Amino acid sequence: MEQLIAGFGAQLREAIELAKGARIQPKQNDIRSILLIGMGGSAFGGEIVKSYIASSCKAPFSIVRDYTIPAWVGPHTLVIVSSYSGNTEETLAALDQAMKQGAEIAAITSGGKLLDIVREHSYNHILVPGGNPPRTAAGYSIVQQLSILHGYSLIQDFYTDLEEGVVMVEEFDDKEAAQSLAQVISGCIPAIYSSPELEAISIRWRQQFAENSKNLAWHHVLPEMNHNELVGWVQPKDVMEKVYAIFLEREQDHPRTRVRAKLTREIIRQATRNVCTVPAKGEGLLGQMLYLLHYGDWVSLYLAQENAEDPVQIKSIDHLKTELGKLE
């Protein structure tokens, strides 16, 4: 896992070359909505893309992590099917429904049944290298989704923004800070807070804490959490000392959200001293998200070491898939 995390910059470089070599040929040029279908690590890239394109893409972008898709999906919907293995049962079921509803299909995969389907129907697709845990293939997922959207003329050139993020990952020098954070949150349940623009990263941190560190966590966004969850930070101190609030922030967050975050930290500190802030580095949103993604991956690796856990094994997921297979 350490090698895979350390290789994230190289993966992004490889993903860029794959994207530039992709030949996306739209069958439908009047795309009015976008739907990403995927699960786990294969769906996560969509969270990054959704946040990044929100201010520029006029077609709404939705994500489905399920067996079924909304009724509004139709011929004017671009459905991006993301399954690293190509055999994710929920994704394949949702794809079948999208095909029946006449959607425009494009796919990202390393093989499996999904590759067979898209080749059979001549759907646009990008083949990525396989063989690693899906959660370690985020670079392929993010870049190829952007490539597909660009191929459909739904977004402008993204490579300049992406380059900033790649350089920041390649020159990442905050491993010691990540290790220190892992040490202080060991034995706690992290509560990860951010603005909506950074929610994708909060999701990533939560997922990586679970899969890599075998450590439960939760996340929420401001200002929404100020209208509900904030009230929950009044439990007895012996309870609150088992929770650690982590705030992910960027200077470009809405000014009122930044004020709310500051006041929220002050309120939480009345219940526990376990509060910290991780500021984003970089100028653009995409670069900032890639920096914080990489930062969180390192934290999850070091937290796995603190928890004496193997960051690669996912025994409970493997067991679940085995049991589901018996019921087919």
Tell me which residues are annotated as active site: 211, 227, 321
CA dihedral of residues 277, 161, 33, 221 (deg, nearest 10): 10
Q: Specify which residues 64 forms β-bridges with.
A: 37
Q: How far is CA 303 from CA 3, 200, 263, in A?
A: 16, 20, 28
Q: How far apart are CA 311 and CA 324, in angstroms?
A: 24
| Coil/strand/helix, residue 151 | helix
Q: How far apart are CA 153 and CA 155, in angstroms?
A: 6
Length of the chain, in residues: 328
| Coil/strand/helix, residue 12 | helix
Maximum Cα–Cα distance for the chain, whole Å? 60
CA-based nearest residue to 34, from 140, 151, 206 = 151
The one-letter code for the residue type at 31 is: I
CA-based nearest residue to 221, from 189, 264, 181 = 264
User: Around Cβ 280, how many Cβ atoms within 10 Å?
Assistant: 24
The helix, strand and coil proportions of the chain, stated in percent and rounded to the nearest 5, come to: 50, 15, 35
User: Around Cβ 263, how many Cβ atoms within 10 Å?
Assistant: 12
Is the Cα torsion angle 158, 164, 165, 167 positive or negative in sign? positive
84, 41 contact by CB (below 8 A)? yes
Q: How far is CA 253 from CA 23, 184, 199, in A?
A: 36, 26, 12
Q: How far apart are CA 204 and CA 188, in angstroms?
A: 18
